[in-house]
Amino acid sequence: MAVNYVSQEGFDALRDEIAHLEKVERKKISGQIAEARDKGDLSENAEYDAAKEAQGLLELRISKLKNTLANSRVIDPKDLDISKVNILSKVRLLNKKFNKEVTYTIVAESEANLKELKISVESPIGKGLMGKKIGEIAEITVPAGNIQFEILDISI
């Protein structure tokens, strides 16, 4: 698996989510399984089957998160070159088609959240912006067509 570069905040959130799933959600599902088991015949017990399936999905999620965490490397913002767009860069852009400004933070896939204007480095826009400098135009192909963004500012 490839290295997953994250902010300290993203690393901590991932670790906290794993702890929550292991300590809280596992106990809930174990309780559901025990409760369903107490209801008798397991061969015809839909609640038991559903709880066991939920347990399997939970364990898969925990496993994936642990794998992501194990392959994560925290990036120190002080080590980044702000002369060009990198992961953790805050990029102020001008959408040339609509003459509208927008500011995105380029983050790891696990930290992406469009409501917070955090876009994944793996997204079409994230990939298209990487390595660009202030004043450059990034032409990016998205599902809706081509978009041109002018890089107005790069910060951390």
Are residue 56 and residue 90 in the same domain, yes or no? Answer: no
Q: Which of 53, 74, 95 is where one domain is finished?
A: 74
109 pLDDT tier (thresholds 50, 70, 90): confident
CA geometry: angle at 144 spanning 143 and 149, to 5°? 100
Domain that holds residue 65: 4-74
Helix (H, G, I), strand (E, B) or coil at 75: coil
Arithmetic mean of pLDDT over the chain: 88
Q: How many structural domains does the chain have?
A: 2
Eight-class DSSP state of 28: H
Do 61 and 85 belong to one domain?
no
Q: How confident is the model at residue 104 (pLDDT cuts 50, 70, 90)?
A: very high
Q: Tell me which residue of 87, 118, 79 sits closest to 4, measured CA to CA.
A: 87
The b-or-e profile of 23-48 (16+ CB within 10 A means b, else e) is: eebeeebeebbeebeeeeeeeebeeb
Q: Locate tokens 């991932």: which residue?
A: 14
Domain C-terminal end among 20, 44, 74:
74
Task: Please enumerate in sequence order all residues whose Cβ is within 8 A of that of 28, keeping only pairs 6 or more positions apart, or say none.
Answer: none
| Residue after which a domain boundary falls, among 58, 74, 90 | 74
Q: Amino acid letter at 131?
A: G
pLDDT (tens digit per residue) in 38-51: 877 666 778 888 88
CB contact at 8 A, 138 and 128: yes
The model's pLDDT over 124-135, given as tens digits with 9 standing for 90+, comes to: 999 999 999 999
Beta strand extents in 2-95 (DSSP E only): 4-6, 72-74, 90-95
What letter represents residue 96's amino acid?
A: K
Coil, strand or helix: which one is 93? strand
> What is the average per-residue pLDDT within 65-76?
88
Mean pLDDT of the region 43-67? 88
- Whether the CB-CB separation of 148 and 130 falls below 8 Å is answered with no
In this predicted structure, the answer to whether residue 119 has a pLDDT above a threshold of 60 is yes
Q: What is the DSSP letter of 76?
A: P
Q: What's residue 65's pLDDT?
A: 92
